[in-house]
Chains A and B, each alone.
Chain A
Amino acid sequence: MLKDITLGQYFPGNTVMHRLDPRTKLIMTLIYIVALFIVQSYISYALMAAVLIAGITVSKLKPGIIMKGLKPIIIVVIITAILNLFYSSGNVIAEFWIFKITDAGIRNAVFMVLRIIMLITGTLLLTYTTSPLDLTDGLEKLLNPLKKIKVPVHELSMMMSIALRFIPTLIEETDKIMSAQKARGADFDTGNLFQRARAMLPLLVPLFVSAFRRADDLAVAMESRCYHGGVGRTKMKQLKMKTRDIVTLALGALILAGTITLASLGL
């Protein structure tokens, strides 16, 4: 069951999408999210979906993997759909007991569901095709100007890359401890909420113990290689914008301009 977690997971590949500069991908994702909140009509939604599908096709990700990533948000999507469906004003189409379904309600529900799904898929596209190291590297570079106002950009990005780096390790560790406790008859899958919470104890204690041990080991390993923060630190692999990045960013600008124009035309 833990193997299903795809949070922050990276699927290696060698497509154009994988080779793009992480900064480009970060900016594109940001543009995409902004554009998603600008679009108001079916036509523009179709355009946004087309952009997304193009992105998925270029990166050669299997649809199954995207579906897996979307699984955890199903509940959020359903709740959003229901809230929008029943709590919107507009012309009443159907009515029963205290519930009214309006034309605006249906429209809002469909739009919100599409918006959430496309939003998540867009960000999945980023994390699936960018290695965590590249991602934090790109983020650090993008946020660099904030150093001027004393934001600890390097420290933040280092924390982020360590956290991302350890997600799979901790999942693996959890899996191991779970197997060991299951071998002693622990039961994680049945019982009421209280029983299940209690059943997690044999899992959490060893997990915390080992997480602290790992943190300690890592700190010693970093210090013994003279790590002392970001001051004066250089990079072996310098990020460089290439032609494909410029083309992609131009495309992004076009998408943003397009959605704004369409929205202002009332489409």
Chain B
Amino acid sequence: MTPIIKTEGLCHRYSVGTPFERTAIEDVSFEAMRGEFIGVIGHTGSGKSTFIQHLNGLLKPSAGKVYYEGVDIWESKETIRDTRFKVGIVFQYPEYQLFEETVYKDIAFGPRNMKLSEEEVDIRVREAAEFVGIDCSLLPKSPFELSGGQKRRVAIAGVIAMGPSVLILDEPGAGLDPRGRESIIENIRSYHEATNATVIMVTHSMEEIASNVDRIVVFNQGRLAMSGTPREIFSRGDELTQMGLSVPEVTRIAKRLKELGLPVDTSVYTIGQLKDILLSLKGGGRNA
């Protein structure tokens, strides 16, 4: 099976030829399969945002290649334009990019750029609105009348409406209250499950990552430092700490329990897993 999206030796330098020149990412080789849910973590300035902007051709690599279903996306103008629609990116604080008079028109901006028929656009707008939990009664309103959380949903719907096979989100929950965060992640999950799209999510919340993704990639100083299942990644807690990252609370509790002499598996990362362990400890006593 060919990976849906793949990078090879990706490199990007900003402001070449000025005193501000700096390398943002170096030698990043990455693969994602159809239907995977991937979490991207890394310290601020580790190159995550630069990396994701390469995946749909917003940034041109200084060196290296990006492939979508085995085709080099920089092959021609058409492949770039196609890739933009197939790989959807939701940027950080996407609510600031809303501009149309109505919510409906804003969500329809992407599909209309794809030159779809009006009926098709209509179907997609309503579907996308439903995915993110925007009620139909809000569609004729101005996006500037909505609350912050609703604006964010509308912006995400604007990308989902293009029906991307790869959906990339840069901190979709940043600046929202815990319930808003959870419900947005829930919406993304439902899109993931309904369409079997690949989802790549950048986040700073280890809990969010732990309970949602199949695989985690870790960026450190512009390089891809680790890649693996949450269990594999979170069992390397010391390395993560050195990179200025942390492990989920649950993993920390398990580690502390082990230090206190209890036979606890320290690679747990969700509350459910820890609960099972604690229950078995209680039931079987200290010899379990």
Contact = CB atoms under 8 A, between A and B. Distances in A.
A184 B91 contact: no
Contacts, number: 62
A179 B114 CA distance: 17
A184 B110 contact: yes
A12 B19 contact: yes
A175 to B, nearest CB: 10
B58 A179 contact: yes
A185 B114 CA distance: 7
B68 to A, nearest CB: 14
Contacts of B94: 180
A114 B278 CA distance: 82
A247 interface: no
A202 B99 contact: yes
B162 interface: yes
A73 B109 CA distance: 36
A183 B113 contact: no
B55 to A, nearest CB: 10
B91 A185 contact: no
Interface string B87-123: 0110100101111000000000110011000000000
Contact of A210 (B96, B109, B114, B144): B96
A82 interface: no
Contacts of A185: 81, 84-85, 109-110, 113-114, 162
Main secondary structure of the interface of A (DSSP, over half): helix
B17 to A, nearest CB: 6
Nearest to A181: B97
A201 B18 contact: no
A205 B98 CA distance: 8
A177 B97 CA distance: 6
B53 interface: yes
Interface string A1-32: 00100000001110000000000000000000
B113 A184 contact: yes
B91 A187 contact: no
A204 B98 CA distance: 11
Contacts of A176: 91
B15 interface: yes
B19 A180 contact: no
A220 interface: no
Contact of B15 (A3, A177, A202): A3
A238 B8 CA distance: 54
A182 interface: yes
A206 B96 CA distance: 6
B159 interface: yes
Nearest to B164: A183
B165 interface: no
A191 interface: no
A3 B17 CA distance: 12
A226 interface: no
A179 B91 contact: yes
B158 interface: yes
A266 interface: no
B266 interface: no
A65 B15 CA distance: 11
Contacts of B88: 183
B56 interface: yes
A182 B83 CA distance: 11
Contact of A177 (B19, B96, B109): B96
Most chain A CB within 10 A, of B96, B97, B113, B144, is at: B97
24 contacts: A3-B15, A12-B19, A13-B19, A65-B18, A177-B96, A177-B97, A179-B53, A179-B58, A180-B97, A183-B56, A183-B84, A183-B88, A184-B110, A184-B158, A185-B81, A186-B113, A187-B113, A201-B99, A202-B97, A202-B99, A205-B99, A206-B98, A209-B144, A210-B96
Given A183-B84, A186-B113, 19 more contacts: A3-B15, A11-B18, A13-B19, A176-B91, A179-B58, A179-B91, A180-B97, A181-B97, A181-B109, A182-B58, A183-B159, A184-B162, A202-B97, A202-B109, A203-B99, A204-B99, A205-B99, A206-B96, A210-B96
The 8 A-B residue pairs whose C-beta atoms are closest, nearest first, are: A185-B113, A205-B99, A184-B110, A180-B97, A183-B89, A202-B99, A180-B91, A179-B58
